Amino acid sequence: MHANILSILDIRMNKKGQIQIGETIAVLFVFFVLITIGFVFYVKVIKGNIEAEKEELSQLKSVGVAQRVMFLPEVQCSEDNIIIDNCIDISKLDAAQKLMKENEVYYYDLFEFSDISISQIYPSDAKWSIYSRKTNDFKSRFVTNVPISLYDSTIRKHGFGILTIETLAR
Amino acid sequence: MNKKAFEVQFNWIFVLVAGAAILLFFTVVVVKQKNVSETSTKASVLKSIEAIVTGASVSTDTTNIIDMPNSNIEISCGRISVGGISRQYNNLVLFAPSLVKGDRLITQTLAFNAPYRATNLLYMTSPQLRYIIIGNSNLAKDINKTLPAELRKEFYPSMQQIQNSNNYKVRFVIFGDMMAFPKSLERMPDSDVTAVRINGDTDKGVLEFWQKNGNSWLAKGSSAYIGKASLIGAIYTDSLNAYECNIQNTFLRLNLVTKIYSEKTKKLVQKLALSSRQAECSKFYNNALAHLTRISAASSNFNKENVDDIAETSKLLAGENKNAQVYSCTLIY
């Protein structure tokens, strides 16, 4: 009789212990599920930030390329070594076109994947493509148009044009 | 009773294991996050430097102080590294010591003219690096004036007792005879104490690179400079290799720009022949073409003879440009 009561008590105690462990495991499971949900949410937010940063970096690169073109001694106007801002010397353009094609690897370091062209609007229409290196494998594309003065130093006359810089970012 | 004791003990072991698993999970997350954050900081420093390099190509004669996260920037020929992240450039012109330490950067740009602007030279250093200029010549005074005031620089007209002020690197700039090695700096690592001895004027001259070797100086070789901009470059770089790498890239740029001016001058000659306007101009342009051809040939390789040749031809070309101005011809550059 006494032994029977002890064995029933033992089974109950065992069941109680198992329920306690089961509860703890359930709590732990819920805890880790919540942690995983939080982590997934955090990764998504971080991914979004990285994408935004990538976009910003591509835009920055595009502006950098535009700046480099504008201040390139190969095309810039100068009078007695004094640089004229926002001015491109037409008499240098043909030579610059040829030079950049011949030294594509050198200029790739400066302009990367981009297409740089100058369109004259006044006094007559003309177009020069000074650098072009494109890739099909690009994720973003930015086009920067800069109004510029076009100076023909051989006839000493100013014109007006647009410098178009298209940059491709992978 | 024994079983109950076992059950209680098992409970504690279970709690311990679960607690350890949770702690381990968060430790892994924190460590990974720390690594990501460090890499991100390094990448942002590198990004800032890239922006500085871009900015340098578009602004001449400027000095900037840039605040950044405390980092060690390693600069070698065509390579900038921050921690494990690095950026490779094919033709980078950046005169800087091999290691730039600290949370502030000093950058300076100067135009490289020979005689027309070929490129902007970019210099970078840390305010923690000490520059000691010794000399009383006009060139020494001029160089002291050209170096930014924000730099940790000292100017002595003659040899002085140098005290150790715990800088991570010390660079001596010596005009005149080489000085004896200062006793106070004997405990510094050999690679951290360097000197450049300058013999020349603002147009051109010879540079001698020295490095600490125990308690004396060890000659590391000599090179040449052309113009004040490249001389300033020799002051910022702490090794002959770094200086020559940058000046080679500068010469490559000069070579390309010279080709453009040659073509432009040819066009100017052709247009004159068509219009037969101002026949005098033709003489200046033809002379200029000969000078440009000489500069183009000399800029294909950097050495002492070519430096002398370019320095001399630049003066002649500048003279032709002046003549063109006097006779109201279109200027060559």
Question: Is A114 within a domain?
Answer: yes
Chain B touched by A99 (CB under 8 Å): yes
How far separated are the first and last CA of chain A, in Å rounded?
83
Residue in chain B nearest A13 by alpha carbon: B4
Amino acid at B77: C
As a whole number of angstroms, the distance between CA A141 and CA B46 comes to: 23
Q: What is the pLDDT of residues A95-133, one digit of tens each?
A: 999 999 999 999 998 899 999 999 999 999 999 999 999
- The DSSP code sequence of chain A is -HHHHHHHHHHHHHHHHHHHHHHHHHHHHHHHHHHHHHHHHHHHHHHHHHHHHHHHHHHHHHHHHHHHHHT-TTTEEEETTEEEEEEEEHHHHHHHHHHHHHTHHHHHHHH-SEEEEEEEEESS-EEEEEEEE--S--SEEEEEEEEEEEEETTTTEEEEEEEEEEEEE-
A17 vs B contacts (CB less than 8 Å): 7, 10-11
How distant is the Cα of B296 from the closest Cα of chain A, in angstroms? 14
Helix, coil or strand: residue B32? helix
Residue for token pair 């370019």: B310
Question: Is A135 within a domain?
Answer: yes
B330: nearest CB among A20, A92, A153: A153
Residue in chain B nearest A6 by alpha carbon: B1
* Residues constituting chain B: 333
B326 backbone dihedrals φ, ψ, rounded to 5°: -60, -40
Mean predicted confidence (pLDDT) in A59-75: 88
Cβ–Cβ < 8 Å for A118, A138: no
Chain A touched by B118 (CB under 8 Å): yes
pTM for the model stands at 0.86
Residue in chain A nearest B270 by alpha carbon: A154
B268: nearest CB among A28, A68, A154: A154
Task: Note down pLDDT in tens along chain B; length 333 residues.
Answer: 566 666 667 778 888 888 898 899 889 989 998 998 888 888 888 888 888 888 777 888 899 999 988 999 999 988 999 988 898 888 889 999 999 999 999 999 999 999 999 999 999 999 999 999 999 999 999 999 999 999 999 999 988 889 999 999 999 999 999 999 999 999 999 999 999 999 999 999 999 999 999 999 999 999 999 999 999 999 999 999 999 999 999 999 999 999 999 999 999 998 876 665 677 899 999 999 999 999 999 999 999 999 999 999 999 999 999 999 998 899 999
Residue for token pair 């177009």: A127
Chain A touched by B252 (CB under 8 Å): yes
| Alpha carbon distances (Å) from B146 to B169, B175, B206, B231 | 21, 15, 19, 11
Q: Is the pLDDT of residue A2 over 70?
A: no
Q: For residue A110, give its domain range.
A: 50-169
B113 vs A contacts (CB less than 8 Å): 81
Q: What is the pLDDT of residues A74-92, one digit of tens each?
A: 999 999 999 999 999 999 9
B81 backbone dihedrals φ, ψ, rounded to 5°: -125, 140
Question: Is A40 within a domain?
Answer: no
How distant is the Cα of B264 from the closest Cα of chain A, in angstroms? 6
Residues β-bridged to residue A133: A114
Look at residue B277 in the predicted model and tell me its pLDDT.
60
The CA dihedral of B185, B224, B248, B258, to the nearest 10 degrees, is 150
Look at residue B84 in the predicted model and tell me its pLDDT.
83
Look at residue B250 in the predicted model and tell me its pLDDT.
97
As a whole number of angstroms, the distance between CA B177 and CA B208 comes to: 11
> Using alpha carbons only, what angle is made at residue A84 by residues A80 and A86, rounded to the nearest 5 degrees?
155
Question: Is A131 within a domain?
Answer: yes
As for how many domains chain A has, the answer is: 1
Mean predicted confidence (pLDDT) in A18-46: 87
Helix, coil or strand: residue B297? helix
Question: Is A3 within a domain?
Answer: no
Confidence band, pLDDT 50/70/90 cuts, at residue A166: very high
- The DSSP code sequence of B88-150 is E-SS--EE--SEEEEEEEEEEEEEEESSSEEEEEEEEE-TTSEEEEE--SHHHHHHHHHS-TT
As a whole number of angstroms, the distance between CA A74 and CA A97 comes to: 10
**CA A91 to the chain's CA centroid:** 34
Amino acid at B57: S
B252 vs A contacts (CB less than 8 Å): 106
Chain A touched by B315 (CB under 8 Å): no
CB neighbour list of residue B83: distance below 8 Å, 6 or more residues apart: B38, B39, B42, B71, B72
The CA dihedral of B137, B139, B144, B145, to the nearest 10 degrees, is 120
Residue for token pair 């306690």: A20
Look at residue B45 in the predicted model and tell me its pLDDT.
85
As a whole number of angstroms, the distance between CA A99 and CA B5 comes to: 88
- Sort strands B130-134 and B170-175 into parallel, antiparallel or unpaired: parallel
Q: Is the pLDDT of residue A1 over 60?
A: no
Amino acid at B65: I
Question: Is A26 within a domain?
Answer: no
As a whole number of angstroms, the distance between CA B222 and CA B198 comes to: 10
Tokens standing for residue B30: 């924190």
CB neighbour list of residue B316: distance below 8 Å, 6 or more residues apart: B287, B291
Max Cα–Cα distance, chain A, nearest Å: 124
Look at residue B272 in the predicted model and tell me its pLDDT.
78
How distant is the Cα of B308 from the closest Cα of chain A, in angstroms? 21
CA-derived radius of gyration, chain B: 28
As a whole number of angstroms, the distance between CA B260 and CA B255 comes to: 9
Cβ–Cβ < 8 Å for B79, B282: no
**CA nearest neighbour of B122 among B210, B202, B61, B35:** B61
**How many pairs of residues across A and B have Cβ atoms under 8 Å apart?**
95
**CA nearest neighbour of A118 among A159, A81, A84:** A159
Q: Is the pLDDT of residue A3 over 70?
A: no
Residue for token pair 């590294």: B81
User: Structural domain boundaries of chain B?
Assistant: 43-238, 249-326
B257 vs A contacts (CB less than 8 Å): 73-74
Tokens standing for residue A4: 């029977």
- Is A156 close to B58, i.e. CB distance below 8 A? no
Look at residue A16 in the predicted model and tell me its pLDDT.
76
Question: Is A44 within a domain?
Answer: no
